[in-house]
Amino acid sequence: MKKITLLFLFPVILFAQEKAPVVTPKQSGKYDTNKFSQMYDLLATPNMFRTASGAPGPAYYQQQADYKIDVELDDRKAKLSGSETVTYYNNSPDILDYLWVQLDQNQAAKNSQSPLAESEKIEQVLPAEKFANEYLKQGLDRGFNIEYVKDFKGNPLSYTINQTMMRINLVTPLKPGEKFIFSTKWWYNINDYIKDGGRSGYEPFEKEGNKLYVIAQFYPRMAVYNDVEGWQNMQFWGGGEFALPFGNFDVNITVPADHVMDATGELMNRSEVFTPAQIQRYELAKKSFDKPVVIVTQAEAEAAEKGFSDKKKTWKFSAKNVRDFGIATSRKFIYDAMAVQLSNKVVMAESVYPKEANPLWGETSTRTVAHTLKSYSSHTFDYPYPKAVSVSAEDQGMEYPMICWNFGRPDANGVTSEQTKNGMIGVVIHEVGHNFFPMIVNSDERQWTWMDEGLNSFMEFMAEQELGTNFPSRRGPAKNIIPYMSGDQKMLEPIMSNSEGIIQFGNNAYGKPATGLNILRETIMGRELFDHAFKVYANRWKFKHPTPEDFFRTMEDASAVDLDWFFRGWFYSTDFVDIGINEVKQYYVSETPTTELKDVKVRKGRFGLDKGPFVYLISDKSTELNPASKKALKIDEVKLLSEYVSQNLTVEERSTLKTPKYFYDVEFNKPGGMIMPIIVEITYEDDTKENFKYPAQIWRKNNDTAKKVYATEKAIKKIQIDPKLETADIDVTNNSWPKLEVKSKFD
């Protein structure tokens, strides 16, 4: 019930002594104390490339890199060799004297700086295998071996390798609107990612001598050049992922003839690599919308894994307008697929997995891929690529255009725990979802992990909840981020931190931004405004390179909701939420003033004073909740009110009057530094409930306290802040009135 607006409240409201805004010390020391100041001091100045609305400007440009790649896998030596021709288009207004190419495999080279940049300590207890790997073995060099770099005429090009970056020195500067063609040849030793780690490599199956390959970062890749920072040539240290331009790929992959493969792009020679029976099954899969069709069966995979073919087979893939390329290949692969109907097109959901992943993967993976494509498309744009592939690769969770690797398998007896199944579903949704962020909405992962991981974790949360199974989502619910946000400030950084400088990577780059977006959607903006703005952002920046500013500005531009206070606090600081009930005062109606109210002057209009007579709200000094000694008077029992109503209001107006009998003055306080709406649930004496939500702007003139008056027909039994734990409030012991008694651990 809303507060009463009759005239007898005016004296109390107008002459309540308000505190002046108090400037408190900075909670985190990382941003200005004015919580509602606009973000002009934090955001880049709009220009012709990126507008103040958050949309690409009229002069926006992006570079393009097209690849023709031939690679061959030596399965016995676990070695990959390749050559590529790159056509690089300079769509910028700038003259380029050199090109930067990423050599990410060099992060695992013997001379890599990455291990040297990490602190170490002795592990006093460790398995023999780990001890041998750590202190005894000399591992193979995993870095790129560049055999040549040539121009399109075959002439050698000058180049300089700086760790994970290679600068190609141009003889003639590349002018705007021109293209440059060069070729390179390389090889490297593929890592055993189970032992050595890494985002790709091979998983060994030692009993049978087989390997399952998930291959990425396998070719020299063009770096991004844009209007924000020129070349994005920050070194790859292992944490911050990748910034890549879009382009077209034609890739030929030669592997042992008994391998089954999937990769980024459309398979161009299906009839050469599959049997007629398998092709027929694939055609059935293209028409199956309710369940997957097994194309390469478990029996066929088990037969293949018993051999080790010395013959070769080349798979040919073509991908248009993608930023990267990934490959999964093994003689162990089972392969299934189904069709997915989106609003305007049909795409394929596919999975490849070894027998060790069944029955879980056959029952779950492709169906989860299909669900993910439908969910993400409904919140952004229809998935534009022809397929999405989920690959079973234990201890992995990594994404590339149209393909990703995911962990989660049954135990040795084929039994899957609920925890394993949920973990597998969650990672499939997350990694398939990365097709949208950042594979299509192509943010700079090397700089801002949260722009892909955080946005994608939020989308994952929505997709999980849309399963309709009460899925136990880890990231998204506000209550789940509380342990992190209430932690030691020395171990926290703002979300707006570079990827390599984050201590608690999962909480900072995944959990906190996902939670923040969920709070925006459910509590601050509402679903209708949020969903529209988020979809505008996704569509503005699909197949482009957005920055954080583009996201922040678009969310405001498309919703008319001022969110500077939220982005400033949630993304640029480590402030936490803590809102409490500081004090509740009870009042009763009287026509007789107390001593302190006797001489109160009441303003009438802008310039004059009202001489009365007045109705008085008397503060009840009793500590008892709704004391029976104080009679709750009805309006018609107060002579002055009764006369005013009868003389000034029509019969129709009198019929709509409220009839409050109980009056409460509630003061909320904010021990935490993070601004947030105040969500209040009131429980009345008859156990009915009423909910109120006050926008964050209630704190704009006083950073410490805010007050609300409740005039009710029924006595209040309980006042509760944030009853559904929507705001990530780290301390709920101050959220109730009367204050709840907290039992000790002994109790």
Q: How confident is the model over 143-168, as pLDDT tens digits? A: 999 999 999 999 999 999 999 999 99
Is cis: bond before 738, omega within 30 of 0?
yes
Provide DSSP, 225-270.
EETTTEE------SSS-----BEEEEEEEEEETT-EEEESSEES-H
Q: How confident is the model over 600-658, as pLDDT tens digits? A: 888 887 788 887 788 888 888 755 555 544 555 666 778 888 888 888 999 999 888 88
Tokens representing 625 are: 């909740």
353, 321 Cβ separation under 8 angstroms: no
Q: Is the pLDDT of residue 10 over 60?
A: no
93, 176 Cβ separation under 8 angstroms: yes
User: Hey, CA dihedral for 337, 211, 82, 278, is it positive or negative?
Assistant: negative
Q: Is the pLDDT of residue 121 over 90?
A: no
| pLDDT of amino acid 623 | 56
pTM of this prediction?
Answer: 0.91
More confident: 720 or 499: 720
Tokens representing 135 are: 């202190």
40, 149 Cβ separation under 8 angstroms: no
Tokens representing 171 are: 């003889």
C-alpha to C-alpha distance for 414 and 402, rounded to whole angstroms = 28
Q: Is the pLDDT of residue 501 over 60?
A: yes
Give the rounded percent of residues in the chain with a pLDDT score beyond 90: 77
Which residues does residue 729 pair with via DSSP β-bridges, in sequence order? Answer: 577
Tokens representing 204 are: 């060994």
Paired sense of beta strands 616-620 and 608-610, if any: unpaired
Distance in angstroms between the alpha carbons of the first and the last residue of the chain:
38
C-alpha to C-alpha distance for 656 and 6, rounded to whole angstroms = 12
C-alpha closest to that of 448 among 396, 510, 398, 491: 510
Q: How confident is the model over 429-465, as pLDDT tens digits? A: 999 999 999 999 999 999 999 999 999 999 999 999 9
Residue 300 identity = E
Q: Is the pLDDT of residue 13 over 80?
A: no
Tokens representing 191 are: 């890592």
C-alpha to C-alpha distance for 359 and 709, rounded to whole angstroms = 60
* Alpha-carbon separation of residue 632 from 77, 134, 629 (angstroms): 89, 78, 9
151, 87 Cβ separation under 8 angstroms: no
C-alpha closest to that of 705 among 665, 668, 664, 676: 668
Residue 678 φ/ψ, nearest 5 degrees: -100, 120
Q: Catalogue the E-assigned strands of 484-640.
A: 580-590, 602-604, 608-610, 616-620
Q: How many CB atoms lie within 10 A of CB 342?
A: 15
Residue 106 φ/ψ, nearest 5 degrees: -65, -15
Q: Is the pLDDT of residue 25 over 50?
A: no
Q: Which of 92-96, 112-116, 260-264, 654-658 has the lowest average pLDDT?
A: 112-116
Give the rounded percent of residues in the chain with a pLDDT score beyond 70: 92
Mean pLDDT taken over the chain:
91
| pLDDT of amino acid 17 | 35
Q: Is the pLDDT of residue 295 over 90?
A: yes
Q: Is the pLDDT of residue 18 over 60?
A: no
Q: How many CB atoms lie within 10 A of CB 77?
A: 10
Tokens representing 371 are: 């669900």
More confident: 174 or 647: 174
Place of tokens 């969110």: 563
Taking each helix axis from N to C terminus, what angle separates 450-465 and 418-433, rounded to the nearest 10 degrees? 130
Compute and round to an integer the Cα radius of gyration of the chain: 32
Q: Is the pLDDT of residue 746 over 70?
A: no
C-alpha to C-alpha distance for 264 and 251, rounded to whole angstroms = 9
